[in-house]
Structure 1
Amino acid sequence: MNQETLKDIFQRNVSLMKACGVTYEQWQHEPILDFDTDLRVGERLGWTAMPTKSLFLRFKSGDFALLLTHKNARLDAKRVKALMGQRPSIASDDEMMAAIGCVPGAVCPFGLPESIHVILDESLLTFESLMYTPGLPEFTFAFPAANLMALLDALPNRILRLPVVESH
């Protein structure tokens, strides 16, 4: 993976936070590329924010989208198909790296190429704070979930909202 690409993604995230006036916390730690490491580092550092999960999706049309959700969520292909008009599949690591430059296990939701749609799982808006990897897997940012829409609205990407499913 190109370290310069990851540093550029990181800088775009710092710039986005500043441009939107979002106060955020930042930690530097061992690289996090899986949930076990995330859990271990989070416990050691006392993290309380909800970890986000960014699933990089591909469609038969050749389009890509990033599903921004929480760490416990699973891909609901039927709901994404209803939103996008085509059935999604999880992109391969090689497809993801070529399209957005992130490292597998550390996909960043902000600073993506403009052609990548962002699908927001609106359940993220119910949490107090959220955290994510800003490109470099040895960093984690946390910010108030109330600022999520301001951050997304500042992006050039098309943002699609996946409503919260009401449980009966």
Structure 2
Amino acid sequence: MAIELVRDYFKELGIAYKILEFETSSATVELAAQALNVEPGRIAKTLSFKIEDHCILVVAAGDAKIDNPKFKATFGVKAKMLTPEEVLEQVGHAVGGVCPFGIPENVSVFLDESLKRFETVFPACGSSNSAIELTIEELYTYANGQGWIDVSKGWE
């Protein structure tokens, strides 16, 4: 299971104990916010996009939506999300548990500016009923972030 990849990744960093697992689903922003009793914006959702022949991940605040003109200005192509099958194949996590941890080295991770207004956020951990609380700096570091980008709207 993908959560085991994430757990192994965080074991190497000494923080596997911080992974939270829930009795209920946290597969959507709304469900995760309910499970954690936090506002939806603090859920760090990981979105998978196709850029030419490879995949990138964009981690954004739960209340942010992708702004297509900003995305195209940043990456030079129209935003095209991967299908659930492509996500599982290329990222190694199923939709509902996609996260920027325990992923193939050829998958680049970018963090959206919408996250910077929070001290801590909650990304998933590879399953549809898991999360971990990380500071913004920890998220950037542990996700091997390639940079901060501004490709979202609706959260301002």
TM normalised by structure 1 equals: 0.75
Q: Contact (CA 8 Å) 2:21, 2:130: kept in 1 or not?
A: yes
Q: Find the counterpart in structure 2 of residue 29 from structure 1.
A: 22
Residue 90 of structure 1 aligns to a residue whose secondary structure is coil
Q: 1:159: how far off?
A: 0.9
**Percentage of identical aligned residues:** 21
Greater Rg, structure 1 or structure 2? 1
Q: Is the 8 A contact 1:80 1:87 kept in 2?
A: yes
- Cα distance, 1:142–1:50 mapped onto 2, change above 3 Å: same
Preserved CA contact (<8 Å) 2:45 2:124: no
**Counterpart selection for 1:9 from 3, 6, 11:** 6
CA contact 1:81–1:87 (8 Å) conserved in 2 = yes
Residues 97 and 88 of structure 1: is their aligned pair in 2 closer, same or farther, counting only changes over 3 Å? Answer: same
Structure 1 unaligned residues grouped into runs of 5+: none
Equivalent in the alignment of 1:42: 36
Which residue number in structure 2 is paired with residue 57 of structure 1? Answer: 49
Q: Distance in 2 between matches of 1:69 and 1:94?
A: 21
What is the CA RMSD across the aligned residues, in angstroms?
A: 3.0
Spell out structure 1 runs of 4+ moving beyond 3 A.
Answer: 22-26
* Deviation at residue 118 of structure 1 after TM alignment: 1.3
Distance 2:19 2:5 in 1: 17
2:125 aligned residue: 134
TM-score by length of 2: 0.80
Where in structure 2 are there 5+ consecutive unaligned residues? none
Q: Alignment length, in residue pairs? A: 153
Aligned mates of 1:135, 1:14 — CA distance in 2? 14
